[in-house]
Amino acid sequence: GGTAETGAPGAPGGARGAGAAPPRTRMEAKRAARARKDSPGVVVSRVVGELFITLGVVMLLFVTYQLWWTNVRAHQQANGAANNLQKKWDENGDDRDPGAFSPGQGFAIIYIPKLDVKAPIAEGIDKHKVLDRGMVGHYGKNPLKTAMPWDKKGNFALAGHRNTHGEPFRYINRLKPGDKIVVETQNRYYTYEMSSILPQTPPSNTGVIKPVPPGSGFTGPGRYITLTTCTPEFTSTYRMIVWGKMVEERPRSEGKPDALVG
C-alpha cells in the first residue's frame, strides 16, 4: 500500500528522486528562490563590468570625436574661410595695417607645399575663435604683437594646432632648411625659406617671436616668419618653433610663385 504513493506529487521521495516537484511550503519556496539568487559579490562584479564597458564605449566615442570629427569640422570651416577670402580678393584694395583686422578675422592664406598644407590665417591666437576652427593665428596683440608680411622689417609669427581641429602644423618638424612657406594676401605672395627649428622650448619663452629671435640664427633685422605649435604630440607641455626668412615678394597679378606651381 505504501509503494503506491512513492513518487506522487508532494511526496518527499518524489522531490528527492526527480527534483522537478515544487517545494511543499511557502517557506521552502522562498528558501529555494533565495538560493537561486546570485551572491552580492557576483552582482557587484556584474555591475562593475557593465560600467567599464559603458565607460570604454564613451571613451572610444570621445577619442573618435577628438581625432577625426574635430578635423573634419575644422577643415570645413578653414576651407570655407579661405574660399571667402579669395572671393573678397577679387575686389580691388590694398593690404591694410594690422589694426584694421578684428580678432578672428582672416586676412591671408598660408601654404606649406612640402606638407600639403593650405590654411587661412586669422588675426589673434584665440583657441575657440581661431585655432579650433582650423585656422592659423597671428600674434597680433600686445604684449605678443608681431609684424605683418608686408612690413619692411619684422617677424610674422603664427600659431597653429599640431593635433586635432585641422592640425595644420602637425608635421612642421619635417621641414628642412630651404623648404618653402608661402603666405598669400589680397595683392601679394610672400615666399619664405625655412631656416632653422627649435624642437622644444617652454611656453614662457616668448623671445622666439621677437623681431630678431634668439636662437634662430638671424643676426639682424629682416623679414622673418615664425611657426609655433605644441609638442610633444597630443600635449601642450612645450612649444616647437620653426623659423624662416623671406626670399621673394610677388604681386598676385603676376601669378603664383614657383613654390606653388607644379
- pLDDT for the residue 12: 41
Q: Is 128 a catalytic residue?
A: no
DSSP code per residue over 123-138: EB--TTTTGGGTPEEE
pLDDT per residue as tens digits for the range 7-44 = 334 434 444 444 555 556 777 766 666 656 666 776 67
Q: How many residues does the chain have?
A: 262
Find out whether 163 and 74 touch, Cβ atoms under 8 Å: no
Topology annotation, domain 66-260: Sortase; Chain: A; (2.40.260)
Q: Is 188 a catalytic residue?
A: no
Return the C-alpha cell found at 251: 604681386
Q: Which residue has the cell 607645399?
A: 113
In one-letter notation, the amino acid at residue 106 is G
Supply the pTM of this predicted model: 0.70
pLDDT per residue as tens digits for the range 19-29 = 555 556 777 76
Q: How far apart are CA 50 and CA 25, in angstroms?
A: 37
Catalytic residue among 133, 138, 161, 165: 161
- pLDDT for the residue 99: 43
Q: How far apart are CA 126 and CA 104, in angstroms?
A: 8
| Residue 17 CA to its chain's centroid (Å) | 69
Q: How far apart are CA 181 and CA 224, in angstroms?
A: 11
- pLDDT for the residue 20: 52
- pLDDT for the residue 10: 43
In one-letter notation, the amino acid at residue 244 is G
- pLDDT for the residue 198: 98
Among candidate residues 89, 107, 88, 111, the one with its CA nearest the CA of residue 97: 107
At a CB cut-off of 8 Å and minimum separation 6, what does 212 contact? 155, 218, 219, 220, 221, 222, 224
Per-residue pLDDT of the chain (262 residues; tens, 9 = 90+): 443 333 334 434 444 444 555 556 777 766 666 656 666 776 677 777 777 777 776 666 655 555 555 666 666 666 666 666 766 776 655 454 444 566 677 899 999 999 999 999 999 999 988 998 888 999 999 999 999 999 999 999 999 999 887 889 999 999 999 999 999 998 999 999 999 999 999 999 999 999 999 999 999 999 999 999 999 998 999 999 999 999 999 999 999 999 999 7
Catalytic residue among 133, 138, 170, 239: 239
In one-letter notation, the amino acid at residue 90 is D
Among candidate residues 48, 50, 32, the one with its CA nearest the CA of residue 40: 48
Catalytic residue among 165, 170, 188, 230: 230
Q: Is 230 a catalytic residue?
A: yes
Among candidate residues 84, 90, 82, the one with its CA nearest the CA of residue 110: 82
- pLDDT for the residue 13: 44
